């Protein structure tokens, strides 16, 4: 397809016309100046002759002015001057301008005073005069008038002479010179045309080659080279173009290679990160590292827990089994150097370059020569070393090291994910066992502590202490599990595959449920041990109600339940533990939303006899009369399908009653099966510590 920038006139034509214009201009200028100089020279020569002849004639006439036969002698002088071929007239005149003698007898015009304008200045001038004028006499062509005064011995002006010179011969000479100049200019133009054509062709040919090569390069054809036939600037430009095309070919090949490497790294990274178990992840890393660098063997060493020792955890490749038992400390061998410095290393020939290595016999035994070793780093600490080995010397270069470094970064993230997953799973199993063990122990303790009141008090104290100890012991690892899970889900250690995200989400949800259970147990144990202290301060009951409703509102919206708060204006400020009162109200409103499947939940507050009354009403299944008092006991739940489905620890209402009692208030419930429930809390307005 033709380019839209194709010129209408080619560069060769434009260059030819430019050179030709320069040649024609120079030829015209040369001819013009030559003719002008020649005409000036001829004219100057004629003027010199005219001045000389007029001066000689004036001296001759002055010498015969006082002779008796002066007029004849003057006429003779004038006729002699007239005999000169260029002279067309000559005469002498006195100081008044009258004609004394005329050398042109056949011209009657000179018998009187000439009427031409040059005569009067010639009569008056004390010096010689020259003037070119149009012809007024019989001589053809322009005329040069020359006038010269003559004097007596006293230098008194007696008169003057006048000679007219024709320019016909001069004009003929100038015409011949003009023809010669035109002929020379034409010859100069012809030679210039030939030189311009040759020069433009010679200059344009390399440019045309450059244009052709540029179009090929622009079309994607990089294997192009233009001929370089000169060492001038165009030759340098052609050589630069060839080097540029070669550089573009190398860059294109490098870009294509880089794209292929990045695609391979991306695919390998996705494959590695998708793993969740540690050992399969390690095997996959060494397999892909060996394939990526086309190596004979690959190995991966990890730092042992709590030790300054690295051990091989995965190997790949024929003959690599001997590497599986290798262990090293920082500074020992190639891997030890990488572990100590945290920088990758390339060894072209291991036996030659690392002769002091303690693993040299092993390296020679497996025939390993070239090595690349890069660190696996997590939060600035070297946690492992990834090796790639070849039996050929000097197999690897900087590019291979960079590829392996990128793979090592992805591998470090994947290994950390796998470790976190295994730690989380192990913590979960341990926690489940501890919970089951503590639950069984608690059940045994409850059965054993039933009996006498004194024994019950002792048992309650033991139970409270037991619950407090158990809660602290369980909450510490559980918080660690939730923290690690949160870090992984927030992708602090890198991208998290969807399959692993779902598993960790379930772990997090169950962990939070368990943490709520532990917190409830801890609160209950503090209350029973008398260690729970209220933080008394002024509070707004309206704000407490609104905070509870706002917190539970998303759960109500999810179940499509109505949730209303009715609080009159002008309620006085209360004094109490606002956080604990909010805990009570959250428990009541949360239970109402949890056990209600349709209808609405209503929260109301009012003043009753100098106290606050807060009620939470729902349209749920209701509570049987025999269960209405027992639901405030620890670990007790109404035995119905709906409550079992909703779940719960059975501690919320027990804790709520204890907190209300600490404020000097009371809590109760009114309910009928199938008609909903209303929980009421009566609190003194101000609690004094």
- What confidence tens digit (pLDDT) does each residue in 222-271 have? 677 767 666 666 667 667 777 777 777 777 666 666 655 566 555 566 66
Query: Which two three-digit tokens encode residue 90?
Result: 């000559």
- What confidence tens digit (pLDDT) does each residue in 291-329 have? 888 888 999 888 887 778 898 888 888 877 888 888 888
The answer to whether 386 and 376 are in contact (CB under 8 A) is yes
Better-predicted residue by pLDDT, 572 or 420: 572
648 three-class SS: coil
So what's the pLDDT on residue 153?
79
In what helix (H) or strand (E) does residue 101 lie, and over which residues does it extend?
Answer: strand 99-102
In what helix (H) or strand (E) does residue 538 lie, and over which residues does it extend?
Answer: strand 537-539
Inter-axis angle of helices 233-273 and 168-218, nearest 10: 20
So what's the pLDDT on residue 140?
46
Closest CA to 297 of 317, 272, 271: 317
**Across residues 566-590, what is the average pLDDT?**
90
CATH topology of domain 274-396: Beta-Lactamase (3.30.450)
**Residue 67, beta-bridge partner list:** none
So what's the pLDDT on residue 2?
44
The full DSSP string for 29-80 is: HHHHHHHHHHHHHHHHHHHHHHHHHHHHHHHHHHHTTTSTTHHHHHHHHHHH
Tokens 């307005």 sit on residue: 685
| Fold agreement (450-528, 537-684) | no
CA distance 207 to 226: 10
**Across residues 87-108, what is the average pLDDT?**
77
Report CA Rg, the chain.
Answer: 62
Q: Which of 264-278, 434-448, 648-662 has the lowest mean pLDDT?
A: 264-278
Q: Cα angle vertex 329, ends 341, 347, to 5°?
A: 55
So what's the pLDDT on residue 39?
76
**Across residues 532-549, what is the average pLDDT?**
88
The answer, yes or no, to whether residue 461 has pLDDT greater than 70, is no
So what's the pLDDT on residue 220?
72
Cβ within 8 Å of residue 488, ≥6 positions away: 417, 420, 496, 500, 504
CATH topology of domain 450-528: Helix Hairpins (1.10.287)
Per DSSP, the chain holds a count of helices (H) and strands (E) of 16, 18
**Across residues 342-368, what is the average pLDDT?**
87
User: Residue 272: pLDDT band by 50, 70, 90 thresholds?
Assistant: low
**Across residues 189-213, what is the average pLDDT?**
71
The answer to whether 333 and 357 are in contact (CB under 8 A) is yes
Query: Which two three-digit tokens encode residue 193?
Result: 């045309």
Q: Which numeric CATH code is attached to 537-684?
A: 3.30.565.10
The answer, yes or no, to whether residue 660 has pLDDT greater than 60, is yes
Query: Which two three-digit tokens encode residue 482?
Result: 């939730």
User: Residue 47: pLDDT band by 50, 70, 90 thresholds?
Assistant: confident
**Across residues 65-83, what is the average pLDDT?**
82
Share of the chain above pLDDT 70, in %: 75
**Across residues 181-194, what is the average pLDDT?**
78
So what's the pLDDT on residue 13?
72
Q: Cα angle vertex 46, ends 45, 51, to 5°?
A: 100
Q: Which of 76-80, 254-258, 551-555 has the lowest mean pLDDT?
A: 254-258
Closest CA to 65 of 134, 133, 151, 156: 151
Query: Which two three-digit tokens encode residue 391?
Result: 């039996």
Give the domain ranges of the chain: 15-173, 274-396, 450-528, 537-684
Range with top average pLDDT, 85-99, 185-199, 273-287: 85-99
End-to-end CA distance of the chain: 96
The answer, yes or no, to whether residue 179 has pLDDT greater than 50, is yes
The answer, yes or no, to whether residue 463 has pLDDT greater than 70, is no
User: Residue 614: pLDDT band by 50, 70, 90 thresholds?
Assistant: very high
Better-predicted residue by pLDDT, 679 or 441: 679
Range with top average pLDDT, 141-145, 263-267, 331-335, 426-430: 331-335
User: Residue 601: pLDDT band by 50, 70, 90 thresholds?
Assistant: very high
Query: Which two three-digit tokens encode residue 625?
Result: 């009369």
Better-predicted residue by pLDDT, 150 or 643: 150
Inter-axis angle of helices 278-292 and 233-273, nearest 10: 160
The answer to whether 561 and 527 are in contact (CB under 8 A) is no
The answer, yes or no, to whether residue 451 has pLDDT greater than 60, is no
94, 96, 98, 102: CA torsion to nearest 10: 30
Buried b (16+ CB within 10 A) or exposed e, 456-472: eeebeeebbebbbebbe
Q: Report the mean per-residue pLDDT for the chain.
A: 78
Closest CA to 591 of 524, 646, 659, 549: 646
The answer to whether 676 and 599 are in contact (CB under 8 A) is yes
Cβ within 8 Å of residue 453, ≥6 positions away: none
- What Å distances lie between residue 334 and 243, 296, 301, CA to CA? 41, 17, 12
Range with top average pLDDT, 192-206, 276-290, 295-309: 295-309
Tokens 């390690």 sit on residue: 282
Cβ within 8 Å of residue 269, ≥6 positions away: 407, 410
Range with top average pLDDT, 143-157, 235-249, 459-473, 482-496: 143-157
So what's the pLDDT on residue 612?
92
User: Residue 441: pLDDT band by 50, 70, 90 thresholds?
Assistant: confident
CA distance 191 to 108: 57
Q: Which numeric CATH code is attached to 15-173?
A: 3.30.450.20
Query: Which two three-digit tokens encode residue 31?
Result: 């001819």
User: Residue 133: pLDDT band by 50, 70, 90 thresholds?
Assistant: low
The answer, yes or no, to whether residue 533 has pLDDT greater than 80, is no
So what's the pLDDT on residue 540?
92
**Across residues 155-177, what is the average pLDDT?**
83
The answer to whether 414 and 277 are in contact (CB under 8 A) is no
The answer, yes or no, to whether residue 136 has pLDDT greater than 50, is no
């Amino acid at each position: 397809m033709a380019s839209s920038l194709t010129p209408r006139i080619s560069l060769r034509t434009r260059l030819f016309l430019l050179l030709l214009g320069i040649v024609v201009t120079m030829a015209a200028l040369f001819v013009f100046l030559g003719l002008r100089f020649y005409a000036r020279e001829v004219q100057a020569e004629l003027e010199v002759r005219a001045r000389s002849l007029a001066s000689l004639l004036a001296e001759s006439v002055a010498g015969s002015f006082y002779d008796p036969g002066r007029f004849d002698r003057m006429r003779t002088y004038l006729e002699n001057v007239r005999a000169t071929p260029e002279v067309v007239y000559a005469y002498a005149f006195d100081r008044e301008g009258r004609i004394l003698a005329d050398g042109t007898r056949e011209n009657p015009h000179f018998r009187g005073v000439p009427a031409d304008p040059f005569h009067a200045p010639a009569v008056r001038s004390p010096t010689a005069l020259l003037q070119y004028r149009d012809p007024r006499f019989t001589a053809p062509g322009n005329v040069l008038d020359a006038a010269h005064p003559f004097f007596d011995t006293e230098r008194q002006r007696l008169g003057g002479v006048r000679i007219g010179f024709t320019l016909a011969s001069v004009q003929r000479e100038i015409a011949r010179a003009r023809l010669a100049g035109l002929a020379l200019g034409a010859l100069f133009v012809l030679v210039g045309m030939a030189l311009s054509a040759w020069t433009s062709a010679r200059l344009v040919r390399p440019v045309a080659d450059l244009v052709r090569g540029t179009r090929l390069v622009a079309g994607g054809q990089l294997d192009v080279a233009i001929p370089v036939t000169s060492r001038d600037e165009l030759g340098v430009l052609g050589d630069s173009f060839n080097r540029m095309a070669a550089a573009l070919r190398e860059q294109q090949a490098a870009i294509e290679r880089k794209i292929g490497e990045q695609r391979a790294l991306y695919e390998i990274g996705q494959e590695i990160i998708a793993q969740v178990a540690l050992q399969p992840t390690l095997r996959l890393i060494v397999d892909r590292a060996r394939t990526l660098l086309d190596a004979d063997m690959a190995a991966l060493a990890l730092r042992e827990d709590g030790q300054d020792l690295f051990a091989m955890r995965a190997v790949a490749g024929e003959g690599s089994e001997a590497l599986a038992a290798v262990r090293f400390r920082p500074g020992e061998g190639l891997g030890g150097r990488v572990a100590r410095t945290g920088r990758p290393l390339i060894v072209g020939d291991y036996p030659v370059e690392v002769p002091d290595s303690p693993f040299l016999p092993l390296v020679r035994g497996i025939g390993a020569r070239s090595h690349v070793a890069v660190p696996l780093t997590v939060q600035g600490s070297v946690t492992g070393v990834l090796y790639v080995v070849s039996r050929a010397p000097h197999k690897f270069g900087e590019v291979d090291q960079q590829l392996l470094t990128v793979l090592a970064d992805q591998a470090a993230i994947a290994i950390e994910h796998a470790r976190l997953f295994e730690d989380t799973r192990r913590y979960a199993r341990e926690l489940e066992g501890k919970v089951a063990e503590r639950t069984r122990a608690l059940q045994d303790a409850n059965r054993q502590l039933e009996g006498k009141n004194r024994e019950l008090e002792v048992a309650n104290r033991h139970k409270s202490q037991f619950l407090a100890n158990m809660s602290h012991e369980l909450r510490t690892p559980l918080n660690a599990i939730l923290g690690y899970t949160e870090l992984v889900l927030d992708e602090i250690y890198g991208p998290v595959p969807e399959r692993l995200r779902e598993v960790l989400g379930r772990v997090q949800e169950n962990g939070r449920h368990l943490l709520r259970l532990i917190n409830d147990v801890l609160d209950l144990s503090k209350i029973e041990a008398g260690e729970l202290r209220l933080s008394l301060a002024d509070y707004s009951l309206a704000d407490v109600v609104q905070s509870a409703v706002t917190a539970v509102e998303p759960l109500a919206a999810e179940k499509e339940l109505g949730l209303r708060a009715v609080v009159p204006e002008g309620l006085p400020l209360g004094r109490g533990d606002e956080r604990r009162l909010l805990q009570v109200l959250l428990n009541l409103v949360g239970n109402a939303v949890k056990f209600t499947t349709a209808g609405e939940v209503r929260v109301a507050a009012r003043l009753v006899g100098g106290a606050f009354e807060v009620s939470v009403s729902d349209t749920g299944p209701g509570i049987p009369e025999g269960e209405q008092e027992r639901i405030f006991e620890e670990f007790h739940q109404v035995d119905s399908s709906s409550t079992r489905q909703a779940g719960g620890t059975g501690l919320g209402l027990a804790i709520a009653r204890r907190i209300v009692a600490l404020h000097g208030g009371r809590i109760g419930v009114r309910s009928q099966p199938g008609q909903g429930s209303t929980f009421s809390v009566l609190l003194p307005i101000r609690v004094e510590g």
